[in-house]
């Protein structure tokens, strides 16, 4: 079976529906989603660092040594991809909360 690489262009807020449909096709590989229309971009980082990870080196999870937590240390690549797909950023809005790592400084 030949695998076909597909991209979604200009789907706006319904791109996730098209991406899901393409993902269900056995001979399709979703290569990209792109839209230049004003829209919100989101990053879902599916990664997890447990307490043992932070305990394994004294610099991890500290302001003095790591400098910013998950956003700075582990998510810059996802931010780069979002910028590449969507273009320059006009406005950023965010919320910051530590729901899972009360034992580290930078996300607390």
DSSP states of 45-100: ------HHHHHTSTTTT-TTTT-SHHHHHTSHHHHHHHHHHH-S-S--------SS
Is beta strand 28-34 parallel, antiparallel or unpaired with respect to 4-9? parallel
Q: pTM, whole model, 2 decimals?
A: 0.48
What is residue 38's predicted lDDT score, i.e. its pLDDT? 52
Contact 17, 33 (CB under 8 A): no
| All structural domains of the chain | 1-39 (no CATH), 44-108 (3.30.360.10)
Tens-digit pLDDT string for the chain (108 aa): 777 777 666 666 677 777 788 778 888 777 666 655 555 556 555 567 888 988 999 888 888 888 777 777 777 777 787 788 777 877 776 666 777 788 888 765
What is residue 12's predicted lDDT score, i.e. its pLDDT? 65
Contact 6, 31 (CB under 8 A): yes
What is residue 52's predicted lDDT score, i.e. its pLDDT? 93
């Amino acid at each position: 079976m030949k695998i076909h690489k597909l991209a979604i262009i200009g789907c706006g807020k319904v791109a996730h529906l098209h991406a899901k449909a393409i993902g269900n096709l056995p001979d399709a590989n979703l290569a990209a989603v792109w839209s230049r229309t004003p829209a919100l971009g989101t990053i879902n980082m599916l990664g997890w660092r447990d307490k043992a990870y932070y305990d394994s080196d004294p610099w991890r999870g500290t302001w003095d040594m790591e400098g910013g937590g998950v956003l700075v240390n582990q998510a810059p690549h996802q931010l780069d991809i979002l910028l590449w797909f969507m273009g320059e950023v006009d406005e950023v809005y965010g919320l910051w909360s530590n729901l899972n790592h009360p034992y580290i400084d930078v996300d607390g």
